[in-house]
Structure 1
Amino acid sequence: MKDLEKFNELVNAFSALPTIGKKSALRLAYHVCIKDPLLGSKLAYSIEESIRGIKKCIQCGALSENELCEVCSDIERNSNIICIVQDPKDVLILEDSKSYDGLYFVLENTNEENITKLRVMIENKNTKEIFFAFTQGLNSDAVIFFIEEKLKDLNLSFSQIAQGIPSGVSLENVDFISLHKAINHRTKLD
């Protein structure tokens, strides 16, 4: 309908989000416009503030409102171990599990700049272990091997998240009990 152009734009915006289909987008748009416009205004404000205020930590790449994220700023964290994840949201998931007390490094790609940044962090923190918390799969295995080769001169031990998380399932889809067990029973890489 032409006289609902703004509503249709909202439906399209919702349906552009991951896992939101056309029907769900329609329900969400109707809810924030008609059922609960106060929630709609609050949602719009929160989105705007997040876009303005959220950035990536300059040290590890996790999400933060400051130059350094909460984890990198915490002197109580175990700097002997750095957990390498593929996505900033993985840090949030691991933190919610309360199973890990070390540092993080988000490795969204394996370009030379990221490898150098990781190397500097390892050397500055005097890290002893690199822990890979990647979605299981052949691509992840190749990245792990690549990183091990790039860092082999640093005399580190390498481990990865334990089996038990199905291959191809991202961390955001794993329950906290399985995630807790996988972290606490991680396996050393030879």
Structure 2
Amino acid sequence: MMGFVIMVGGAYRFTGNTFNRRNMYALSGFASVWAGAMLLMPHYSFASFFLIMALRTVLFVWAGCMILKFMPPHRTAGRRLAGWSLIAWGVYVLLFPFFFQFPSLIHPGFGFLVGFHVLAALGFVVLVVDRVRSRAEESEDHVRRLEGFLPICSHCKKIRDDHGIWHPIESYIRDRSDAEFSHGICSECLKTHYPEFNS
């Protein structure tokens, strides 16, 4: 059960959400119900088993719904595959005990389980690849903003933008990147402009 809870937590963080007090209450509630079901297993095996299956179903459906709801819409392939696979897996977990009533469904039932595992894993791989690709594209766009020829004044070193307005080099770069400037003086300028401080 803890592995499934960790999976839901991973899906929650992967979708960009942060943990808060409400999440801790939900996690404590799940852990309490699961521990209670485990303690009652020797006395009420069917009810405990069904409760554990219901908890797994809630976890899988919850993770699938989070992925479908919170992932950016442009990542449709991985989002749909992972989200719907987890939801189907959750419903399957709840229905699986009933397969034992029909011996001919047991083997196909295990095949479905493996299929849902593979589809959910593949969906998560596609989500990760989409995220890496989008971050690479963002980095490319960031670098591209400072590429190409820059018209610069040979005297004051201001840079002309696309609208013909001249900007100090510091403000031009700061507006188009995350760079910050700290000012100092190089040794050549120190000799030329402040010879009294040159030692």
Q: Please tell me the TM-score bracket, short chain as reference.
A: under 0.3
Q: Greater strand percent: which structure? A: 1
Q: What is the TM-score of this pair, normalised by structure 1? A: 0.27
Q: Greater helix percent: which structure? A: 2
